[in-house]
Amino acid sequence: MNFVFDPSLVLYLPLYELDGGSFASKDAYGHICTVTGALWRPNGHYFDATDDRLDVANNSVLQPTKSTVMVWFKCTANSGAYRDLITSTTDSSGNNQAYHLRVDQTTGLLFGRSGNGTASVSLNGVGDLTSAAEFSMAAMTLDNKNLSLFLNGEVTGTPVSRVAGVHTDTNSIRVGNTYGAFGGIIGEIMVYNRALTAQEIQHNYLATKWRYR
């Protein structure tokens, strides 16, 4: 593998390889993932913007206090505002999410959020992500100080100060549908239990983009 593959990679889902009603993730943990509705495609799984989702069985390693979340995706439907890529809880309260990465399929904006149980911080990125013609890689990092967003290997938006502490719970990780149902293809998901550097994020983008061009 040419992307950053080290012990801090706690969830790896190459959805172009994985098929069936359930499967194990391709990281060292082998998390059990359950598919509801989403259909396999050669470049990922297709989500219908209605009720499709993917649930990853809870494990404490999946809700770290410092993290990086990376998702390759392509919008194929204007299904509305705030459509979920990946959320660290099935709870709809933003305060109860260690991380939440989503896209506004009306405006094309990227959105990230992190909560500590009683409060949350959020950040809007920039750019048009609604084109059906291209895949994009979205990334979110959470370190001791800031929440940051990246689009296709580059910082987007201005990092915001994180809330004190990060909430964790016993719910599953959910892909594609917590607040709003995503419409399009999700190709690949990586979750790390540390904040990758900007250089590492760009490296991951460059090392994996060949599959989505």
Q: Is residue 27 part of a domain?
A: yes
Q: Is residue 3 part of a domain?
A: no
Say what the pLDDT of residue 131 is. 60
Model pTM?
0.93
Q: Is residue 85 part of a domain?
A: yes
Q: What is the CATH number of the domain that holds 44?
A: 2.60.120.200
Say what the pLDDT of residue 153 is. 94
Distances from the Cα of 139 to the Cαs of 24, 79, 129, 135, 146, in angstroms?
23, 21, 13, 13, 14
Residues of the chain under the 70 pLDDT cut:
1, 127-128, 130-133
Distances from the Cα of 159 to the Cαs of 13, 80, 124, 146, in angstroms?
27, 25, 9, 6
Say what the pLDDT of residue 132 is. 59
Structurally, the chain folds into a number of domains equal to 1
H or E element that contains 13: strand 9-14
Nearest partner of 73 among 163, 139, 147, 117, judged by Cα: 139
Q: Which domain holds residue 156?
A: 9-212
For residues 48 and 162, give the distance between their C-alpha atoms in angstroms, rounded to a whole number.
33
For residues 141 and 149, give the distance between their C-alpha atoms in angstroms, rounded to a whole number.
7
Q: Is residue 129 part of a domain?
A: yes
Q: Is the separation of the CB atoms in 174 and 100 below 8 Å? A: no
Q: Is residue 77 part of a domain?
A: yes
